[in-house]
Chains A and B, each alone.
Chain A
Amino acid sequence: DAGVIQSPRHEVTEMGQEVTLRCKPISGHDYLFWYRQTMMRGLELLIYFNNNVPIDDSGMPEDRFSAKMPNASFSTLKIQPSEPRDSAVYFCASSLRMSYGYTFGSGTRLTVV
């Protein structure tokens, strides 16, 4: 298995632009999670899906953030408009069951200038 695949690996964008991060989970995993990592706050859960359905998006910082999972093999996290404080590493992770270990993707390092 290729693991969890995220794209792009790096993204540099100007403030106000729309940013879309992509994730392909491991086939057969029922759960997909989006985390954001910063030095100050560590790994924060933004949203998670179970069988493509969003379960808890209370971690999404603002309405500028949205996430979708149109099918079992693809998810997107969109920021519109982007701001410098959104700069962070965004990880997607998937898991077979909620109580199992998570497999993380390589992350997307987002820089908003």
Chain B
Amino acid sequence: QQPVQSPQAVILREGEDAVINCSSSKALYSVHWYRQKHGEAPVFLMILLKGGEQKGHEKISASFNEKKQQSSLYLTASQLSYSGTYFCGTVNSGNTPLVFGKGTRLSVIA
């Protein structure tokens, strides 16, 4: 079951904040976040396991709400280098592979 990401696209000015959401219709075991720049491979950012944890990666952090079957990615004080497409990948049980959402295209402009 493919997770649903929102928004589909967002444009930010440098220094602005953004939130990307990922929701699933099924119970989640874990959520991964990846960033893909144009013409490149997706790059792993972080993984969140069930338990409602929040993790950080420089100015990029994420939360996981197990009850709501949702995860959110927070980008603060955005930089030009944050531009790309962000994908969430969800795992519904402990030993199944990632199913990716369709992505959120983030553009940061000067």
Residue positions of A touching B, CB distance < 8 A: 31, 33, 35, 42-43, 45, 48, 56, 91, 98-107
Contacts and interface: CB of A to CB of B under 8 A. Distances in A.
B84 interface: no
A101 B47 contact: yes
Interface secondary structure of A, over-half rule = strand
B42 A104 contact: yes
Interface string B33-44: 010000011111
A20 B97 CA distance: 24
B42 A91 contact: yes
Interface residues of B, number: 25
Contacts of B46: 101
Contacts of B89: 102
B91 interface: yes
Contact of B44 (A99, A103, A106, A107): A103
A99 B91 CA distance: 8
B64 interface: no
Contacts of A100: 47
